[in-house]
């Protein structure tokens, strides 16, 4: 593993492990296909579907090694999110077509969950899919769609039923982003960059064969995916790499006349963040041991809470250490770590919003307490 | 200045600020900046802080803070704080001289744009350990060194430069003086720096720049009181502007959460959001109170008390500003990350406020002109 990483990531090609903010389609495709050539396109998938059948602990070891070696973050939407949904709930034809293309990075994905009126209250989504012969006809709007401007496919939650609870009328549909009637509009974000998009669907015809599982059962697949997403949110490897970089930079006499880490105040702040990382690391290991539903739900929410706030606090310390230089817009004259720190600080506000806000995670945890409290 | 005069000035300011604040305001071009400054001069703002004996309006610090709060509400990105309050303040607080009278007149009538070159590369918040050297020569001084992030520097005609005398056999003790140089003069190189909050600064290299005796604003050894007065006024003004920006974020957050519906009701109906809004209001009111304390200390005539209070206010308000900025984004959800709302613009402004002119940790522990530390 170390040999592979050293060969594929020579000094000149190393990435800043945490900078999902500055990822490009070319980076994502290159790294995914590189991993796949070695058989590690999605090592946590079952062997039958092209994975290595690795346990979560093995996967975690691998991801940490990748982050330490300066590998780019792979796009999560295919290998981590929709892939497991397809091999667990999808048809044989969907598996045959999509899984190899996720593994080799030839088709990239994005996630069509949020809508302007459906954020934390995701089940109130209104994008509708109406059956018409062999197709569904999709009309509506998705928003905050990360990487939709590169993606080839989108996995989408759509409304197919109107009876019962709102959750009961939702289906999980795979849609080719090149279909007629799809319009992608960029949303500029707080760091000045383009990550998010709005997607407008106008009478988009989607073959009914692209429905995953059963009609109106999409909510359970979506929950399966969200829980996987939260379980995988700890990002211990990238966080460790960030903290190590921060420690080195804050001791650098090239960057600072008086390196800030000579000041006990900053040593204490950094140490406290490192303690939180140790705890997160341990919590992630514990999470691998649980298998029953409520305990998994609890760990998923706690990991998401701990990791998202830790990432934010690391970038907040990073801009403080950089000092006024953190305010320089990215460019040739700007120290790279200062620009990266501010981009992470600004865009990193999203960590406590996407994938279920901090408030939503706490509500989940509070509900799990109810049997004890009542 | 009479109370009704101040009220008129503030009402005019509110109208002007509303007209000239926006994502792509005039400060992005030199012509736009000049036109904006002409408008500001017409409103009399450059005359506001100068004494009546200097031909100014003789407004007290409370009036200056009130105007800056209005500018912060915009936020108006014209370099009023940087050029009039800070650089102009250095001139106003300097000992009487022909130079002083000429500069005061030029700043007040808007024809002379001044900026203060205080900070240096790699020195973060520490301006007293200045390396820029003023070597005595037979025609005055030769100034050599690098200055970083000269706020408002791109539109300045002249710079007030903080430098330290270097005498033969000097072991680095030296004495601070303030020297006035022309931004287009021989030996002066300036490079524009776009800051993340949309304002402009410049990096300046001074290579044996001749400063004749009639361009010495404060002789070496006589600059401390001048620096202290102008900087403490600037900290107070910057804090007031931050309060203006914070109050806008609080108002926007209350309005947004009252209007945004999830789970069939406004999200402001959830207690967790209400508590967040209450904490934001609490931080805002604490900040307002601290500005009032700094203003009172500034008019008291007690320089030691003024330094202590203005620095305490800057430090605490910096933290409150960061808190309100982060909380405002969180209650706006993904909308707070997008540039479709002005939330991000205020947040970047507040992040800049916190990191410029000394951050909270620096003001609690670092060296400051005019303050004798044990």
One domain for residues A29 and A58: yes
Please say which residue of A19, A51, A74 terminates a domain: A74
Q: Cα–Cα distance between B64 and B67 in angstroms, integer?
A: 5
Q: Residue B26's pLDDT band (boundaries 50, 70, 90)? A: low
Regarding the domain with residue range B116-218, which homologous superfamily does it belong to in the CATH classification?
Butyryl-CoA Dehydrogenase, subunit A, domain 2 (2.40.110.10)
One domain for residues A66 and A117: no
A14 within some domain:
yes
Helix ranges (DSSP H) in chain A: 2-8, 25-37, 56-68, 83-89, 92-103, 218-231, 236-249, 264-289, 293-322, 336-347, 358-373
Q: Residue B171's pLDDT band (boundaries 50, 70, 90)? A: low
One domain for residues A30 and A153: no
Residue A279 pLDDT more than 50? yes
Q: Does A367 touch chain B (CB under 8 A)?
A: no
Residue B67 pLDDT more than 90? yes
The partner residues of A140 in beta bridges, in order of sequence, read A201
Find the helix or strand (DSSP H, E) in which B281 lies.
helix B271-299
With beta carbons less than 8 A apart as the criterion, state whether A66 and A32 touch: no
With beta carbons less than 8 A apart as the criterion, state whether A359 and A271 touch: no
Q: Cα–Cα distance between B356 and B21 in angstroms, integer?
A: 21
Residue A17 pLDDT more than 50? no
Residue A275 pLDDT more than 70? yes
Average pLDDT on B331-339 reads 95
One domain for residues A248 and A176: no
Q: In the annotation, is A183 catalytic?
A: no
pLDDT of residue A7: 86
Give per-residue pLDDT as tens, A71-87.
887 788 999 999 999 99
Please say which residue of A50, A74, A98 terminates a domain: A74
One domain for residues A255 and A353: yes
A96 within some domain:
no
A283 within some domain:
yes
Residue A16 pLDDT more than 60? no
One domain for residues A17 and A135: no
Give per-residue pLDDT as tens, B363-373.
999 889 888 76
Residue A19 pLDDT more than 60? no
pLDDT of residue A76: 87
Tell me the three state secondary structure of residue B265: strand
Q: What is the CATH number of the domain that holds A243?
A: 1.20.140.10
From A2's Cα to the closest Cα of chain B, the distance in A is 36
Q: What is the CATH number of the domain that holds A148?
A: 2.40.110.10
What's the residue count for chain A? 374
A226 within some domain:
no
List chain B domain ranges.
3-112, 116-218, 224-365
A84 within some domain:
no
B-chain CB neighbours of A114 within 8 Å are 334
Strand pairing report for B114-117 and B158-165: parallel
One domain for residues A244 and A301: yes
Q: Does A256 touch chain B (CB under 8 A)?
A: yes
Task: Identify residues of B whose CB sits under 8 angstroms from chain A CBs.
Answer: 119, 122-126, 129, 148-149, 191, 193-197, 203, 261-263, 267, 270, 272-273, 322, 326, 329-330, 333-334, 336-340, 343-344, 347-348, 351-352, 355-356, 359, 361, 365
Give per-residue pLDDT as tens, A157-192.
999 999 889 999 999 999 999 999 999 999 999 988
Say which DSSP state A349 is in: G
Angstrom distances, CA of residue B263 to CA of A118, A124, A161, A226, B301: 9, 8, 19, 19, 57
pLDDT of residue B138: 95
Please say which residue of A19, A54, A74 terminates a domain: A74
A48 within some domain:
yes
Q: Does A255 touch chain B (CB under 8 A)?
A: yes
pLDDT of residue A14: 66
pLDDT of residue A292: 82
What is the pLDDT of chain A when averaged over all its residues?
91
Q: Residue A145's pLDDT band (boundaries 50, 70, 90)? A: very high
Q: Cα–Cα distance between B120 and B96 in angstroms, integer?
A: 28
Q: Residue A153's pLDDT band (boundaries 50, 70, 90)? A: very high
Give the distance from CA A329 to its chain's centroid: 26
What angle (nearest 5°) sits at the alpha carbon of residue B239, between those of residues B235 and B241?
Answer: 120
The count of domains in chain A is 3
pLDDT of residue A70: 83
pLDDT of residue B172: 60
Asked if B359 lies within 8 A of A187 by C-beta distance, the reply is no
Say which DSSP state B85 is in: I
Say which DSSP state B195 is in: B
> Which of A119, A190, A260 minimises the CB distance to B339?
A190
pLDDT of residue A349: 95
One domain for residues A194 and A296: no
Q: Cα–Cα distance between B172 and A334 in angstroms, integer?
A: 29
Give per-residue pLDDT as tens, A230-249.
777 778 888 998 899 999 99
Q: Residue A9's pLDDT band (boundaries 50, 70, 90)? A: confident
pLDDT of residue B94: 97
Mutation pick from A324, A343, A361, A365 vs chain B, by most beta carbons of B within 10 Å, is A324
- As its CATH architecture, domain B224-365 has Up-down Bundle (1.20)
Of A229, A255, A275, A316, the active-site residue reads A229
Average pLDDT on A274-288 reads 94
With beta carbons less than 8 A apart as the criterion, state whether B193 and B203 touch: yes
The partner residues of A298 in beta bridges, in order of sequence, read none
Statement: B3-112 belongs to CATH 3.40.50.880: no
First to last CA, chain A: 51
One domain for residues A211 and A152: yes
* Radius of gyration from C-alpha coordinates of chain B: 21
Say which DSSP state A80 is in: I
Residue A200 pLDDT more than 80? yes
With beta carbons less than 8 A apart as the criterion, state whether B23 and B345 touch: yes
Give per-residue pLDDT as tens, A93-126.
999 999 999 999 999 999 999 999 999 999 999 9
Q: Cα–Cα distance between B289 and B294 in angstroms, integer?
A: 9
Percent of chain A with pLDDT over 70: 97
Give per-residue pLDDT as tens, B355-365.
999 999 999 99
Question: Of A34, A38, A36, A18, which is closest to residue A26 (Cα–Cα)?
Answer: A34
Q: Cα–Cα distance between A262 and A251 in angstroms, integer?
A: 7
Range in A25-39, A77-91, A140-154 the model is least confident about: A25-39
Domain residue limits at A265: 235-373
One domain for residues A137 and A209: yes
One domain for residues A320 and A359: yes
Q: Does A114 touch chain B (CB under 8 A)?
A: yes
With beta carbons less than 8 A apart as the criterion, state whether B45 and B5 touch: no
With beta carbons less than 8 A apart as the criterion, state whether B270 and A358 touch: no
Q: Which residue has the higher pLDDT, A290 or B266?
A: B266
């Amino acid at each position: 593993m170390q040999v592979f990483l050293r060969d594929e990531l020579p000094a000149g090609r190393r990435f800043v492990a945490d900078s999902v903010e500055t990822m490009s389609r070319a980076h994502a495709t290159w790294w995914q296909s590189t991993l796949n050539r070695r058989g590690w396109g999605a090592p946590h998938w079952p062997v039958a579907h092209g994975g290595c059948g690795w346990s979560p602990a093995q996967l975690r070891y691998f991801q940490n090694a990748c982050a330490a070696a300066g590998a780019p973050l792979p796009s999560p939407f295919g290998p981590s999110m929709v892939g497991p949904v397809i091999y667990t709930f999808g048809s044989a034809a969907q598996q045959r077509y999509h899984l190899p293309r996720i593994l080799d990075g030839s088709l990239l994905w994005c996630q069509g969950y949020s809508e302007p009126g459906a954020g934390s209250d995701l089940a109130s989504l209104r994008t509708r899919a109406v059956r018409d012969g062999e197709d569904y006809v999709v009309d509506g709007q998705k928003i905050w769609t990360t990487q939709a401007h590169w993606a080839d496919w989108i996995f989408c939650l759509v409304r197919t039923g109107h009876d019962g609870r709102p959750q009961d009328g939702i289906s999980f549909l795979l849609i080719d982003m090149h279909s007629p009637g799809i319009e992608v509009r960029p949303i500029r974000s707080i760091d000045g960059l383009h990550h998010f998009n709005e997607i407008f669907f106008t009478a988009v015809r989607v073959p009914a064969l692209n429905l995953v599982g059963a009609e109106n059962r999409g909510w359970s697949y979506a929950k399966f995916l969200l829980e996987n997403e939260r379980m995988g949110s700890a990002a211990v490897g990238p966080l460790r790499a960030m903290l190590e970089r921060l420690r080195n930079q804050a001791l650098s006499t090239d960057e600072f006349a008086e390196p800030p880490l000579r000041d006990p105040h900053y040593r204490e702040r950094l140490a406290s963040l490192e303690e939180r990382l140790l705890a997160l690391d341990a919590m992630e290991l514990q999470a691998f041991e649980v298998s029953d539903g409520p305990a998994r739900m609890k760990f998923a929410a706690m990991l998401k809470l701990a990791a998202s706030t830790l990432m934010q606090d690391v970038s907040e310390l990073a801009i403080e250490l950089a000092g006024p230089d953190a305010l320089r817009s990215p460019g040739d004259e700007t120290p790279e770590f200062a620009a990266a720190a501010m981009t992470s600080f600004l865009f990193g506000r999203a960590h406590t919003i996407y994938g279920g806000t901090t408030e939503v995670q706490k509500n989940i945890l509070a509900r799990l307490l109810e049997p004890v409290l009542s | 200045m009479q109370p009704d005069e101040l009220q008129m000035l503030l009402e005019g300011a509110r109208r002007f600020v509303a007209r000239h604040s926006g994502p792509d305001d005039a400060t992005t071009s030199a012509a736009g900046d000049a036109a904006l400054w002409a408008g500001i001069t017409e409103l009399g703002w450059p005359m506001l802080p100068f004494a009546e004996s200097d031909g100014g309006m003789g407004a007290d610090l409370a009036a200056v803070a009130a105007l800056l709060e209005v500018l912060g509400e915009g936020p108006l990105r014209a370099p009023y704080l940087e050029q009039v309050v800070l650089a102009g303040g250095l001139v106003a607080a300097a000992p009487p001289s022909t130079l002083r009278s000429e500069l005061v007149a030029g700043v007040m009538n808007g024809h002379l744009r001044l900026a203060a070159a205080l900070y240096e590369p790699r020195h973060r918040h520490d301006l007293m350990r200045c390396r820029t050297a003023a070597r005595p020569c037979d025609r005055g001084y030769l100034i050599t060194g690098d200055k970083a992030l000269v706020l408002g520097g791109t539109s300045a005609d002249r710079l007030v430069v903080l430098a330290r005398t270097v005498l033969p056999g000097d072991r680095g003790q030296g004495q601070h003086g303030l020297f006035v140089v022309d931004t287009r003069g021989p030996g002066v190189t300036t490079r524009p720096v776009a800051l993340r909050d949309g304002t402009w600064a410049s990096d300046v290299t001074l290579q044996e720049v001749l400063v004749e005796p009639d361009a010495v604003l404060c002789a070496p050894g006589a600059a401390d009181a001048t620096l202290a007065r102008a900087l403490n006024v600037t900290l107070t003004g910057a804090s007031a502007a931050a309060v203006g920006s914070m109050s806008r974020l609080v108002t926007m957050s209350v309005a947004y959460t009252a209007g945004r519906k999830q789970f069939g009701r406004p999200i402001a109906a959830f207690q967790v959001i209400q508590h967040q809004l209450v904490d934001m209001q609490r931080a805002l009111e604490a900040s307002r109170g601290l500005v009032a304390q700094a203003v009172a200390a500034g008019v008291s005539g007690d320089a030691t008390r003024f330094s202590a209070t203005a620095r305490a206010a800057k430090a605490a308000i910096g933290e409150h500003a960061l808190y309100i900025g982060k909380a405002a984004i969180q209650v706006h959800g993904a909308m707070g990350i997008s540039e479709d709302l002005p939330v991000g613009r205020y947040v970047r402004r507040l992040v800049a406020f916190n990191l410029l002119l000394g951050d909270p940790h620096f003001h609690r522990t670092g060296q400051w002109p005019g303050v004798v530390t044990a």
